[in-house]
Chain A
Amino acid sequence: MSSTAPEPTSVVLALSGVSKRFGTVQALRDVSVECRAGEIHAVVGENGSGKSTLLGVASGYLTPDEGVVEIGGHRLHTGNAAEALRFGLGMAYQTYAQVLDLSVAENLYLGAPSSERPGFHRMDAWATEWLHGFGLDVNVSARMGSLPLGERQLVEVAKALLSKPKVLLLDEPTTALGPGEVERLHRLVLDRAAAGVGVVYVSHRLPEVLEIAGRVTVLRDGVSQGTHGAAGMSEEDLVSLMIGRPLQLAFPSRNGGLSDDVLLTVGGFRGRRFGPVDLTLRRGEILGVAGAEGNGQVELLRCLAGVERGTGSVVCDGTKVNLRSPTGALRAGIVLLSGDRAREALFPVLGVRSNSTIQVLKRLSRAGVLRRGKERDLVGGMVKRLKVRTPSIEQPVRFLSGGNQQKVALTRPFLRDVRVILAEEPTQGVDVRSRFDIYEALREKADQGVSMIVKSSDPLELAGLCDRVVVVSRGRIIDEIPASELSERRIIEAIVRSGGRVAADREQPVPAPAEDAVDG
């Protein structure tokens, strides 16, 4: 691609100095991106690097805190999707902007600018014709929600093109597509670009990106790492730009020899968005689960905890686990540390004491009456041991920082008999100091023979904390990284390579033995 050609091309989308903050998270910091007419401009970055926020700002759905968005030379004034549409912007959302209870035609009609709309009662014929132009033969009077995901994704792209946009934004447009459909989408996108449309293509799948894009902008932690011509880039180059953290963390050391004693065996396990999954977990092992967001990792953990329904066999310490309800999992000693602390893990208005002893009240009571003194001693000890920073053990946990909340949630597995801890994003929204305390606490527990499965979107964390990491794509384990090979880069490479055809062609889940690294 000769997008680096010196002659000036007209810029169809320009973001200059854009910053956006959500609460305490700085999602974007002073990011500038330019997309020219006729080019395919990819934006890549890890999970949470700010890609989706960038698109939200560009499409007028989010209002930036600072900075300017210009579409086709017009400055976008407010967080107003309709205005962006008028200026010539088309957007295909990763999560689809579709009203499921309206028909396909009604959705297209609403998404079209008024100049492109036919008469209200000619809607169905118009929508059929438009979709037919993309080789999509869909019953347009059917409910949008009744379409399979792959078709909905293609309809979403077709909808974005309704406004005959000067610039087209695609957010992870291939997540639900099979290889053939990806090919089809790419032909369509190349065709539009040839017609002079500027395309912004956001994806975590580097093979796809390098195949189709002219230039690539890399985001890392909300900061742009520059825009580069794709021609000279390799996947390795991109990965190098994506990783690296201003602050390196200290991790507790792994204990050398893990026993070969298997604690948890998961066989042919399936659930919503994942499966079949086979796993073995050794006693005292910390297993990491990596992957691009939304590939079934969360559901896997929740099914193992009995919070959601999964099918397949789960054997813990030689006994089959009844996973019909969380109670069965708890009885087997499997506990979930939910990533949704405020709603699922903790009772925000209750104090530290009540939150940490809620599962063991029976043990602390005599004849049904709680022994306050004993409870206080126990919690006080825990607070000291896990370094929970709180003015008192009666402090409602909603007034604690994210890190201290997580530590309170962590006191529970310390107070009861557990065999397996399933931790979902254990350090999300946690400050650096507390992170280290949490890693230490988890490792301490592991050294006592408790096994863990840690789902995290932070590869650095997985590389530092875990004994072994499995990589999940489209609900299946597609790679397994033993301790000897663990690094942030190795994990990211496995995730980004999993995109597109590589993963789709692999039918078999990776067998348990750790040493056969598949992507080697």
Chain B
Amino acid sequence: MVETTATATPLPARRIPGWLPLTLMTILMLGIGAYAAAQSSDFLSSYNLSTLLGSSGALPLALVAMGQTHALMVRGFDVSVGALMTLTVVVGSFILTGSETWYELAFGSLALVAIGLFVGLVNAGLIRKVGLPSIIATLAALSVMQGISLQLRNVPGGEISADVMDALNTSIGFMPVAFIGVVVLAVVGDLWLYGTTSGLTARAVGLDESSSRRLGAPAERIHWRAFVLCSLMATIAGFFLAAQVGIGDARVGGGYALTSIAAAVLGGASLLGGKGSFIGAVVGALFLSLIINILPLPNILPGFLLEWSGALGYISIGVLTLLALILYQGPELWVRVRTAWRDIRPSRPSEGENLA
């Protein structure tokens, strides 16, 4: 019975159930929303709600966070998404202006998508063919794209076609149509990820590449697909960012690298790959946008903190991301603490230990 093999088995880690992050965040959001509504009548105004959900708020973040979920799913990071969004806006300010005809606009949009596709392929190639860590490869891509954007729009200029902006910002009441599309996309994405063979294979590759390859999973293709999809989602997010700012500005998308990772992680994505959900990414994006949205509203912050409202948004994003990581990986952390404690304790060769 006391086979030595028993001690070689790692301690079983209890898993965080997938619904927990979502439930937690939804409850928190409702709480924060109720508090904000009670403190400030502006919060529930249709203008503010459409700002919160639309292209000035959660919409671009939700899209890019869904893209980032693809990269995180295969144990990668894509820090170039923000720079790609910026590049989309900047290039868009040249080819999607008010003077273009509709077919020129359509062609220009396709060109922007092609840029996204190209960036995704370059990222994937650097990671899979050259063998660079994803964070380094995409950091390099970030720098290159940032440089191009700065050269193209040294100072903000150009303008995005009002027709395009209006089309992207179409709303039913306060609800932007595009946001409904994002939610549908997220639901479809999760049905794929958790309800199909293809999705299962993707998660398996993220969890353990070599074992899943031996099981016959096309690991190489799945990695390429993940980074290409991530870039394409960033490009689409870039369109909505353009609809928000309306002008070619080379400094507009920088923050999205961090916030997209934060939103995905808040939604339950693991930095170790194979875990996460698209609905979670959207809820995470909503949550972060909510915080940034309510801080400047009257009566939310005490007076002396008012001029901190912008900074507090970023600070809370960082703190929340850390909290989410610690909380969701709690069981694994707990096992590590227990193992460490077992090692420190002057242990006797007790039989019970083998069964632990």
Binding site for B on A (CB under 8 A): 59, 61, 81-82, 85, 91, 93, 96-102, 106-107, 109-111, 113-114, 117, 120-121, 143, 145-146, 148-150, 176, 178, 268, 270, 272-276, 296, 309, 311-312, 474-476
Of B3-11, B29-37, B177-185, the one with at least 4 CB within 8 A of chain A: B3-11
Report if B131 contacts A (CB, 8 A).
no
Rounded to whole angstroms, the CA-CA distance of A149 and B6 in the bound complex is 8
Contact A276 B212 (CB under 8 A): no
Contact A148 B207 (CB under 8 A): no
Query: What per-residue 1/0 map shows which CB atoms of B198-227 lie under 8 Å from chain A?
Result: 001101100110011111111000000000
Report if B274 contacts A (CB, 8 A).
yes
Contact B8 A99 (CB under 8 A): no
Contact A111 B216 (CB under 8 A): yes
Closest to A97 in B: B214
Residues of A within 8 A of B5 (CB): 148-150, 176, 273, 474
A77 to chain B, nearest CB (A): 15
Contact A296 B213 (CB under 8 A): no
Contact A110 B216 (CB under 8 A): yes
Residues of B within 8 A of A178 (CB): 3
Closest to B270 in A: A101
Report if B349 contacts A (CB, 8 A).
yes
Rounded to whole angstroms, the CA-CA distance of A270 and B12 in the bound complex is 21
Q: Given A106-B200, A110-B201: A148 and B6 within 8 A (CB)? A: yes
Closest to B205 in A: A99
Residues of A within 8 A of B196 (CB): 120
Closest to B209 in A: A99
Rounded to whole angstroms, the CA-CA distance of A145 and B5 in the bound complex is 14
Residues of A within 8 A of B208 (CB): 99-101
Report the 4 A-B pairs with minimum CB-CB distance, sorted nearest first.
Answer: A97-B214, A475-B4, A82-B216, A99-B208
Q: List 13 additional contacts besides A91-B214, A97-B214, A296-B4; criterion CB under 8 Å.
A: A61-B214, A97-B215, A99-B215, A101-B207, A106-B204, A107-B215, A120-B196, A143-B15, A146-B12, A148-B5, A149-B9, A272-B8, A474-B3
Rounded to whole angstroms, the CA-CA distance of A296 and B7 in the bound complex is 11
Report if B101 contacts A (CB, 8 A).
no
Rounded to whole angstroms, the CA-CA distance of A477 and B3 in the bound complex is 14
Residues of B within 8 A of A91 (CB): 214
A321 to chain B, nearest CB (A): 14
Contact A102 B216 (CB under 8 A): no
Residues of A within 8 A of B274 (CB): 101
Report if B129 contacts A (CB, 8 A).
no
Residues of A within 8 A of B203 (CB): 102
B residues 29-80 near A (Cβ < 8 Å) are none
Report if B343 contacts A (CB, 8 A).
yes
Residues of B within 8 A of A311 (CB): 347-349
5 A–B contacts, CB within 8 A, in A order: A59-B214, A101-B275, A110-B215, A110-B217, A143-B12
Closest to A271 in B: B7
Residues of B within 8 A of A276 (CB): 349
Contact B12 A110 (CB under 8 A): no
Rounded to whole angstroms, the CA-CA distance of A212 and B132 in the bound complex is 47
A314 to chain B, nearest CB (A): 14
Among A91, A102, A311: residue with most chain B CB under 10 A: A102
Residues of B within 8 A of A268 (CB): 349
Residues of A within 8 A of B215 (CB): 81, 97, 99, 107, 110-111
A407 to chain B, nearest CB (A): 31
Rounded to whole angstroms, the CA-CA distance of A476 and B15 in the bound complex is 35
Residues of A within 8 A of B15 (CB): 101, 143
Contact B204 A99 (CB under 8 A): yes
Contact B197 A109 (CB under 8 A): yes
Rounded to whole angstroms, the CA-CA distance of A410 and B260 in the bound complex is 50
Report if B133 contacts A (CB, 8 A).
no
Rounded to whole angstroms, the CA-CA distance of A274 and B2 in the bound complex is 11
Report if B255 contacts A (CB, 8 A).
no
Contact A82 B218 (CB under 8 A): yes
Report if B195 contacts A (CB, 8 A).
yes
Residues of B within 8 A of A143 (CB): 12, 15
Residues of B within 8 A of A474 (CB): 3-5
Residues of A within 8 A of B207 (CB): 99-102
Contact A275 B204 (CB under 8 A): no
Q: Given A101-B207, A474-B3: A275 and B12 within 8 A (CB)? A: no
B194 to chain A, nearest CB (A): 10
Residues of B within 8 A of A296 (CB): 4
Rounded to whole angstroms, the CA-CA distance of A30 and B181 in the bound complex is 59
Closest to B12 in A: A146
